[in-house]
Structure 1
């Protein structure tokens, strides 16, 4: 086509090779990091984009999450789930409102989820390198792009809240987050999860033949459960640590223990040399069955733990008595043991 600055060539692609990241498949840390990187690149490409159609109200815009939850929560039949949605959304909304005035706004894609990030068909691990579905393009808080992408990771197999911090670090490396955006990030994830649950229930109730909406109900509730698995202050602390390059503590963490002191090397004196056979260690004393005078080595009988002993037998009116005494220089007590009673001749 001809433009004021000269001819321009436009290319229309019907599809991108590869496929989406949707489904319960496991997301590796490198895949989540790639998702954070591509979300950050889209975010850095849209700040200067202007169009009259951007100023509109969308159900998926977290700036209107409080009204969406209040309007559609009645479609949740389970009272306990409805109460949990109201409580989590109210807490998250209060935290976001305290920061809303200082959060930067710009044009956002508003749907950079695992359904709209296209993975490359090459390579062993799925790596996103394409974006589709710009139908929700609007003006909102810039940090919303990352929050919506994080929420879409929480339903995948084996993914826990602290695992998605890999994507936060990758996003921050390309498009740095301010302190206020880091504070508002996880409350926005919770608001997104609450909106998904109430919107899905509403859609399934008004359109009973919508199999797509019904199939997503369990997935959306799992996202909400994972988003609220840890308290908001804890996850916000983990997000801030991730921005400073510190690893997050897992959900089953305990208090940090002090560093262990280096072990001192103790000096052991050399063992004495046992030259006399009566002063040999017990293990050596056991090696011979009889002592120097022919007495039995009765371990424990003389109370000395196996020294050579001398046995002396005496006869009395009450019977035979065997007395064992330690032989040699040892001054161990002697022990008398009664023998078998026998009549004297």
Structure 2
């Protein structure tokens, strides 16, 4: 793991002028691995300039450009950013600063209100399901070799986190459950998921990656950040979205009904997918807790950003386990 590139707003403005031939007002944006900047160009366009972590492969950069082009051709029912080519027509450029060098790319800024800044409602939860269905449908025909890579946020590879979980685990009830869940997932859940059709999925339909318009805070208007795309069954897309949509202030069972209803208003789920949904939700909550806790210990200077959703994940998982319809599903594993 590497810290984000050490590039400031002045340097970002120079990069925008050098590679995109624009004079821009620059504002730094939050980021975990990359350094991101909001550009307001001299033509009043809003772009995002991304200074990419040195750990990112060229194929990872390419897939994030190609998927935006694919979704534009598909006329996806939710808005997504549009890739911006450099002044020489390239999808990305190489920026040199002394002995350091980073790849940079740009794309249009998706205006709207991030979902994490509005109140969660049953109607908005339904919109999470609708969005998961629309995005997974639009991505079914997208192909790229990099989608077969191994990444930590791939639910299908949850077992890769078991050692990290043991390292950061405490002794409370939630920690004990998390450690026990790996066995259930590996033995019961993963074989069933592997039998389902695998497609490209967004892989991170989180509250910070979704926006609503000021006119309707209960309808998701756009989707950001395709950096965690993998191949997986579409129920994984839905389960990931649901893990972020669930809220401890709302009834969990009713919430799940709304999320599933939203998805099925676009595309029906079969009984196997419905049965696996809770396991995928829990798997994503486990990822969110384990990965962020482990990373924050190693990058304390960025811990606030890394841990921004961890408390929510813990609260939702704890609330789910208090419901009999969830707790009974894992009773044998947690006591074995």
Structure 2 residue runs of 5 or longer lacking an equivalent are 1-72, 74-81, 85-106, 330-336
Q: Which residue does the alignment assign to 2:111?
A: 17
CA contact (8 A) 2:83 2:108 kept: no
**Cα distance in 1, alignment partners of residues 254 and 182 from structure 2:** 20
Shift of 1:232: 5.7
Instruction: Give the count of matched residue pairs.
Output: 226
CA shift in 2, pair 1:179/1:234, >3 Å: farther
**Cα distance in 2, alignment partners of residues 190 and 11 from structure 1:** 34
Higher helix proportion (structure 1 or 2)? 2
CA contact (8 A) 1:29 1:166 kept: yes
Q: What TM-score, normalized to structure 2? A: 0.61
Q: Bigger radius of gyration, 1 or 2?
A: 1
Where 2:207 maps in the other structure, the secondary structure is coil
Q: Select which of 144, 168, 174 maps to 2:266.
A: 174
**Are 2:206 and 1:113 equivalent residues in the alignment?**
yes
Q: Select which of 260, 275, 288 maps to 1:196.
A: 288
What root-mean-square deviation, in Å, do the aligned CA atoms of Structure 1 and Structure 2 show? Answer: 2.5
**Cα distance in 2, alignment partners of residues 100 and 11 from structure 1:** 33
CA contact (8 A) 1:26 1:158 kept: no
Shift of 1:209: 1.5
**Cα distance in 2, alignment partners of residues 66 and 226 from structure 1:** 24
Q: Which residue does the alignment assign to 1:37?
A: 130
Q: What TM-score, normalized to structure 1? A: 0.59
CA shift in 2, pair 1:48/1:205, >3 Å: same
**CA offsets, 1:195-234, max 9 Å, x none?**
1111121012111112212443322211321343335668
Higher strand proportion (structure 1 or 2)? 2
Q: Which residue does the alignment assign to 1:90?
A: 183
**Cα distance in 1, alignment partners of residues 201 and 158 from structure 2:** 16
CA shift in 2, pair 1:130/1:92, >3 Å: same
The correspondence of residues 298-317 of structure 1 with structure 2, limited to 5 A, is none
**Are 2:298 and 1:229 equivalent residues in the alignment?**
no
**Are 2:120 and 1:27 equivalent residues in the alignment?**
yes
**Cα distance in 2, alignment partners of residues 156 and 234 from structure 1:** 16
**Cα distance in 1, alignment partners of residues 276 and 307 from structure 2:** 31
**CA offsets, 1:259-308, max 9 Å, x none?**
xxxxxxxxxxxxxxxxxxxxxxxxxxxxxxxxxxxxxxxxxxxxxxxxxx
CA contact (8 A) 1:92 1:190 kept: no
**Cα distance in 1, alignment partners of residues 83 and 143 from structure 2:** 22
**Cα distance in 1, alignment partners of residues 326 and 248 from structure 2:** 24
Q: Select which of 199, 221, 225 maps to 1:133.
A: 225
